[in-house]
Structure 1
């Protein structure tokens, strides 16, 4: 199974890969998103460790049960060969109606088929008021004309 764009990445293909990841996560379909990861993918997400694609899918399913009204923006930070670094922010609310903006950085490593085989994420949550939200689009893909992180001063 191949998942273009494939490494080695240039700036254009790295940006494409980042946007495809953002689009996938905003779609909140754990089974579909998990297909972007190699069967033996390894993750560190906060203090949670994932050892394969099935665990990644289960992790995502649980994540999106907890994080309601999830909206994510990713931005390319750096790339080289088969590696991409991104920064991102996402907004979500818990079951009690409390809003958060979570800020993070990820380091990705891809196999020759363009599947992510390693994902290392560091994330911090900031409680926000609903009126402080900046990510306003219908659930799903961020519209092309919606500002990115740098445009929003994040």
Structure 2
């Protein structure tokens, strides 16, 4: 089954989970391969373009965000766009290894002619400090099995 546009509910859901699994590898070079060479991003307050900038951004991200675990869920889709809600937890190496959870939304646009690679990604996210006992994605937990209450959606 192709995960390239045009998307159906099934392929959009599978595309989101494929992205989740790819990002959870924390391998910047492999993650960057999912984007067109001229991809453009807005990630919070940063504007990036091209896979070289994306790779460097991801290297820096995962140097800061230790023990990173991510979950993405399909929010909405059209023929070549997907909206995603996500949550991830990490220890902040720039803040005494405090645990944090990021809540956010992404808007993805795919190139119809580049094998289903993403050509635009816009991300908005907010980090919240959490205590160890508030963590969802503890070591060994399948992120997809965690029940996330409506107050967090």
Q: Could you state the TM-score of these two structures normalised by the residue count of structure 2?
A: 0.90
| Aligned residue in 1 for 2:31 | 33
The 5-angstrom pairing of residues 44-63 of structure 1 reads 44-63=42-61
| Aligned residue in 2 for 1:106 | 106
1:74-106 Cα shifts (integer Å, max 9, x gaps): 000000010000000000011212110100100
Q: Please say if residues 70 and 143 of structure 2, whose CA atoms lie closer than 8 Å, have aligned partners that are also in contact.
A: no
Give unmatched runs, 5+ long, in structure 2.
none
SS of aligned partner of 2:105? strand
The 5-angstrom pairing of residues 1-154 of structure 1 reads 4-95=2-93, 96-112=96-112, 113-138=115-140, 143=142, 146-147=145-146, 151-153=147-149, 154=152
- How many positions carry a matched residue from both structures? 145
CA RMSD of aligned residues (A): 1.4
Deviation of the 1:144 alpha carbon: 7.5
The 1:45/1:28 distance shift into structure 2, 3 A limit, reads same
Give unmatched runs, 5+ long, in structure 1.
none
- Structure with bigger RCO (C-alpha 8 Å, 6+ apart): 1
Q: Please say if residues 69 and 143 of structure 2, whose CA atoms lie closer than 8 Å, have aligned partners that are also in contact.
A: no
Deviation of the 1:131 alpha carbon: 1.3
Give the Cα separation in 1 of the matches to 2:100 and 2:17.
Answer: 22
Deviation of the 1:137 alpha carbon: 3.7
Q: Could you state the TM-score of these two structures normalised by the residue count of structure 1?
A: 0.90
Give the Cα separation in 1 of the matches to 2:82 and 2:119.
Answer: 12
Give the Cα separation in 2 of the matches to 1:97 and 1:56.
Answer: 24
